[in-house]
Amino acid sequence: MAQPRTVVMVPVDADTVTIGARDVKNRFAEAIGRRGLAAEISVFEVGSFGPSDAGVIAAVQPDGLVYGGLTPERVDRIVEEHFVKGRPCREWLLPGEYPLPDPRAADARRTQYAGRIVLDNCGRINPERIDEYIANDGYFALGKALSEMTPAAVVGEVKQSGLRGRGGAGFPTGLKWGFCAAESGPEKYVICNADEGEPGTFKDRLIMEGDPHKVIEGMALCGYAIGAHQGYIYIRGEYKLSIERLHQAMAAARDYGLLGDNILDSGFRFDIEIKIGAGAYVCGEETALIESMEGKRGLPRLKPPFPAQAGFRQKPTNVNNVETLANIPAIIYRGADWFRRAGTENMPGTKVYTILGHVLRPGLIEVSGGVTLRDIIGDYAGGMKTGTFKMAQLGGTAGDLIGGEMLDVPLNYDALEKVGHTLGSGAILIMNESVGVCDFLHACMRFFAHESCGNCNPCRNGLRWLTAITDRLKRGTGYPGDIEIMEEIATVLKTAAFCPLGQSPAGPIVSALRYFRAEIEKGIDRKSARPKPDHTARALATFAG
Amino acid sequence: MTVAEIVEKHGNHRENLLSILHAIQDAAPDRCLHRDALDELSELMKIALSDLVGTATFYSMFSLTPRGRHIIRLCESPPCYVLGSDNILEALRERLSIGIGETTPDGLFTLEHTSCLGACGVAPVMSIDDEVYGNLTAEKVNAIIDRIVDDHITAAAARKAD
């Protein structure tokens, strides 16, 4: 088969689909075909390059050029000028430092590709072609495990790597696998938690859309390690493109004998099914997710027993986040020592972040654990889009709000813990001075109040109170004492809520008070000397109104 | 498809309940779970009606009240809020003369809030049925609504011509 001399790669993901990426890709194929260049120039869809600020884009390789802001009409011109006449359309080219999917380029900050573990294929390969995944060492880890390693050795390697869960809690993955592997019985399950509901977090979606086979391989490796033969991907109903690409990838893997009854003739049996959620934030908590998979209301279960002992169908179950599983193939194929070269002692490897808010270049990045927030804003996100930095929220809506004094703390579990913060899911929301702290807190509390599953009192009622109080504060009509009540509720949530999702709203409240107490106090009306209210009645009445 | 056929297709097992509810809701012209369908489902799956209603109302993608042909779901999560989702809500309210949870009198649109759609890179965001629209502005919202309305007018005219 003739090799094309040029390839055009159009990132098609749920972000770019909304602005017409499919039309652009189809127009490229059409126009190139019409010119009789189809044998020389191949056009395909890839996953996200990372940033999502330049509209529909297309990379032309090996020229190393990236076009931005594409429309079907512009595509016609590009095909005519660039491909037929050999003159790139300079006016639509993105500046030279635009991250290009070229892992060989030297400057990591420019390319953002060097050192990637999870996203190394995203934007570089066609996610709908299994051959391209295999050509980039895909399924080599599975082959290695099945032919050279015992299940215990696989668990050992993951333990050795020091990988910690990337869903938010940061629990050591190898340890979790070890618990499940230690359980006896033939019926165990692997669940991939793709119910990405933490506002601001969309890394899992872009991983599944850009490199679905990596997740599938990670799940198969987990199945082999813990002795499970069935995997499930619990995914949000809204993630249509992810679901489509996963289905396609699973079918291709079955065709190649990489999923199914006798994987690579090793006698190992493993397959995967997709379960679609119906919209509930709490289902990101692993026991609530399992309840939902069983067709029930997604209420968290009492632990112990942990899912490793009694999970789905009361059988031993291992639940991991998408990004966690996507780290596994590299760890097994290249070894734990290789993995530990990146990151820090207590947080080896890389972390995928989604950067959003008032920055020039929102999107997806993968960096090692020593990077600071200042680096991320300045180098990766292109700086502030408007205004100056005021605050950031780390780890989604359940994350801590931090002020400018924390810009130089490295983003890893230990360094953040030392200053009293957590890393969370990987979302980083950057805000400028136009955002009021009370206004923002109210938006967060309204979200949690809506998503509370209603199972336990601290979360169900506490969040209604916090919504009402933050609403008053943002209007400047807070009562004296409101801040103290807010602190008290945060303490109750933290200590008495049933599940992690009920405990987490305390994070934004406590941290906001730490950095922005003076601004929050301005929300209290001390002048009009209104009578001290009956808090119960008034708080709930305000909420209802 | 009837309720019985949907249950048959997905398998009469509690674990399949969410898929079954999705399918029943999608099959209803007014995009909701009707009482008679739930009665029938309760009978078929031997699940108490209270349990079915409890499960369906737990999840935000299910509705027990009739909805319009197109469901607009505007993201109200903090990242979209910070980038101005309130202005988008205002634009939608003005354009459609309905509030959150309401349906236009012609039965074409229902307006809902949703939590994060995972497209924060192009916030503020809304979805209409299965399509997600990003980088919204008031003008863009109006253009999107106009296009859907126009499509319906054209389709209705075509039906008349037949």
Residues B54 and B104 in one domain: no
- B119 neighbourhood in chain A, CB within 8 Å: 14-15, 18, 202
Question: pLDDT tens digit string along A488-517?
Answer: 999 999 999 999 889 999 999 999 999 999
Whether B45 maps to a domain, the answer reads yes
pLDDT at A5 over 70: yes
Q: Are the Cβ atoms of A239 and B118 closer than 8 angstroms?
A: yes
Domains and CATH numbers, chain A: 6-98 (3.40.30.10), 130-340 (3.40.50.11540), 350-432 (3.10.20.600), 437-544 (1.20.1440.230)
Go through A23-37 and write b for each residue having 16 or more CB atoms within 10 A of its CB, e for each that does not: ebbebbbbbbeeeeb
User: Are the CB atoms for A157 and A145 separated by under 8 Å?
Assistant: no
Residue owning tokens 């065709």: A255
Q: Which of A182, A222, A473, A171 is nearest to A326 (CA)?
A: A222
The burial of A424, by beta-carbon neighbours within 10 Å (0-12 exposed, 13-18 middle, 19 or more buried), is given as: buried
Residues B41 and B77 in one domain: no
Angle A159-A164-A168 (CA atoms, 0-180°, nearest 5)?
Answer: 160
- A440 neighbourhood in chain B, CB within 8 Å: 78, 81-82
What domain range includes position B154? 70-161
Residues B54 and B17 in one domain: yes
- Average pLDDT for residues B126-137, to the nearest whole number? 89
User: Are the CB atoms for B138 and B88 separated by under 8 Å?
Assistant: yes
- Average pLDDT for residues A204-225, to the nearest whole number? 96
Residues B127 and B148 in one domain: yes
Go through A248-264 and write b for each residue having 16 or more CB atoms within 10 A of its CB, e for each that does not: ebbebbeeeebbeeebe
Question: pLDDT tens digit string along A132-172?
Answer: 999 999 999 999 999 999 999 999 999 999 999 998 888 99
Q: Are the Cβ atoms of B77 and A297 closer than 8 angstroms?
A: no
Element (H, E) at A239: none
Say which CATH number the domain at B157 has.
3.40.30.10
Residues B80 and B157 in one domain: yes
Q: Are the Cβ atoms of A280 and B59 closer than 8 angstroms?
A: yes
Query: Within the 12-71 window of chain B, which residues sit less than 8 Å (CB to CB) from chain A?
Result: 13-19, 21-22, 54-55, 58-62
ipTM: 0.93
Q: Which of A16, A18, A389 to mutate to test the interface with B (most CBs of B within 10 A)?
A: A18
Q: Are the Cβ atoms of A447 and B78 closer than 8 angstroms?
A: yes
- Tokens matching residue A196: 């990405």
d(CA A449, CA A523): 21
Q: Are the Cβ atoms of B58 and A298 closer than 8 angstroms?
A: yes
Q: Are the Cβ atoms of A202 and B118 closer than 8 angstroms?
A: yes
d(CA A309, CA A179): 8
Question: pLDDT tens digit string along A445-497?
Answer: 999 999 999 999 999 999 999 999 999 999 999 999 999 999 999 999 999 99
pLDDT band at A544 (very low <50, low <70, confident <90, very high): very low
Whether B65 maps to a domain, the answer reads no
Nearest to A278 among B59, B79, B134 (CB): B59
- A18 neighbourhood in chain B, CB within 8 Å: 119, 122, 125, 131-135
Nearest-neighbour CA in chain B from A334: distance (Å):
32
- Looking at the structure of chain B, the number of domains it has is 2
**Given the DSSP bridges, would you call strands A317-321 and A189-194 parallel, antiparallel or unpaired?**
parallel
Q: Are the Cβ atoms of A279 and B79 closer than 8 angstroms?
A: no
> Residue A230, SS3?
strand
* Secondary structure letter of residue A283 according to DSSP: G
Higher pLDDT, B162 or A357: A357
Most confident of A57-66, A226-235, A343-352: A226-235
Residues B53 and B106 in one domain: no
Of all residues in chain A, the percent with pLDDT exceeding 70 is 93
**Helical H segments across B29-126, by residue range:** 35-45, 49-58, 78-82, 85-96
Start-to-end C-alpha separation, chain A = 68
Q: Which of A391, A390, A381, A351 is nearest to A369 (CA)?
A: A351
- A281 neighbourhood in chain B, CB within 8 Å: 115
Whether B63 maps to a domain, the answer reads no
Of all residues in chain A, the percent with pLDDT exceeding 90 is 66
Query: Within the 276-305 window of chain A, which residues sit less than 8 Å (CB to CB) from chain B?
Result: 276-281, 292-298
Whether B64 maps to a domain, the answer reads no
Residues B93 and B134 in one domain: yes
Q: Are the Cβ atoms of B133 and A358 closer than 8 angstroms?
A: no
Residue A436 in contact with partner chain B when CB distance is under 8 A: no
Question: pLDDT tens digit string along A274-303?
Answer: 999 998 999 999 999 999 999 999 999 999
Nearest-neighbour CA in chain A from B115: distance (Å):
7
What chain A residue is nearest to B19 in terms of C-alpha separation? A276
* Secondary structure letter of residue A2 according to DSSP: P
Nearest to A362 among B76, B116, B121 (CB): B121
- Average pLDDT for residues A221-235, to the nearest whole number? 98
Residues B147 and B85 in one domain: yes
